[in-house]
Amino acid sequence: MRLLFINGVNLNMTGLREKDVYGAQTLDEINYEIVEHFSEDSCEFYQSNNEGDICTAIQCAEGFDGIILNAGAFTHYSYAIRDAIASVGTPVVEVHMSNVHAREEFRKKSVLSEVCKGVICGFGKNSYILAGESFKL
Ligand code: DQA
């Protein structure tokens, strides 16, 4: 099984920003734990703060069994990322570390969910692992 973990805007600041919401571990530390869970061969990681680069990463994901996507704030307004997801055959699971439904009003709306296989949120770094596990079912 090959999984592509894509993190969008501001996720590179994980461990440094809003630690009470996203935890104290850096994205590299979280990715290390994901590799420990699934194995090195089955995981690839990509992070970008640029919307178009996220679209390109999704378009180039042929050969992966699934994409685990935390698009960050892009989730709430990026029709470009939504169209990229809809344009490929690779299934995408949307993830969020925080429970977006228990936060500000604007976070309750995702323009991506409709074109994703499923959504997992609220489990901190384990949201990524739960999303990856879903591809084993
Ligand atoms: C997030 C939730 C988003 O609303 C926010 O903009 C993020 C992170 C999460 O992982 O909880 O940057 O996707």
pLDDT score for 60: 98
22, 77, 79, 128: the active-site residue:
22
- Find out whether 82 and 19 touch, Cβ atoms under 8 Å: no
- Ligand 1 mutation target, pool 98, 110, 120, 125, most atoms within 8 A of CB: 98
Give yes or no: 96 in active site: yes
Mind listing the pLDDT tens digit for each residue in 110-119? 999 999 999 9
The whole-number pLDDT of residue 15 equals 98
**Ligand 1 in reach of 10 Cβ (< 6 A):** yes
Whether ligand 1 lies within 6 angstroms of the CB of 72 is answered as: yes
Q: How far is the CA of 66 from the centre of ligand 1 (A)?
A: 20
Q: What's residue 59's pLDDT?
A: 98
> Shortest CA distance to 58 belongs to which of 91, 33, 26?
91
Long-range contacts of range 101-104, CB-CB < 8 Å, 24 or more positions apart? Answer: none
- Give the neighbor-by-neighbor strand order of the sheet with 92-96: 43-47, 3-9, 66-72, 92-96, 118-121
Residue with the two structure tokens 């959504």 = 119
Q: Which pLDDT does position 99 carry in this prediction?
A: 98
Residue 47 CB less than 6 A away from ligand 1 = no
pLDDT of residue 122: 98
